[in-house]
Amino acid sequence: MPRRRDAAAGLTQPSLRSWVRSRSWLPFPITTALVPAKDAYRDALRAGLEHAIAADAARIVAAEAASTNRRIRALKDRLLPLLEEALAAIELSLDEMERADIDGVRRVIGSRPQPPTG
C-alpha cells in the first residue's frame, strides 16, 4: 500500500491514514487475548490513578496535621503563659480592691457614733 506524505511546516511525514489502514505498526497480531489484556490494563491504570490520588490526599492531610501541631505548640508555649500571667494580675488586682473595700467598710462602721448604753 503506497504511503501518502503530508507536508506540514515544510516537513513531510507519513499520512495518519496510511498508518491506521495498514496496522503494520502494531507490535503484535490482534487476537482474542487483547480484550482481557485491554481490560486488565484499564483496571491497572485506574488502580494506579486511585493510588496516586490517595497518596496525594495522605500527603496533604499529613502536612495539615503537622501545621496544626505547630499551632497547638505555639499556643501552649507562648499564648497560654501570657494569658495565665494576665489572669493572675487581674485576680491580684481584684483581691486588692476587695481588701480596700473591706477596710473602707470597717472604717465606716468604726466611725459611727455608738448608741448610749443604759
Contact of 5 with 14, CB cutoff 8 Å: yes
Using the predicted structure, report yes or no on whether residue 46 has a pLDDT greater than 90: yes
Distance CA 50, CA 58 (A): 12
Region 55-67: mean pLDDT is: 95
Contact of 6 with 15, CB cutoff 8 Å: yes
Mean pLDDT (the chain) is 80
**Structure pTM?**
0.48
- Is the sign of the CA dihedral 85, 87, 88, 93 positive or negative? positive
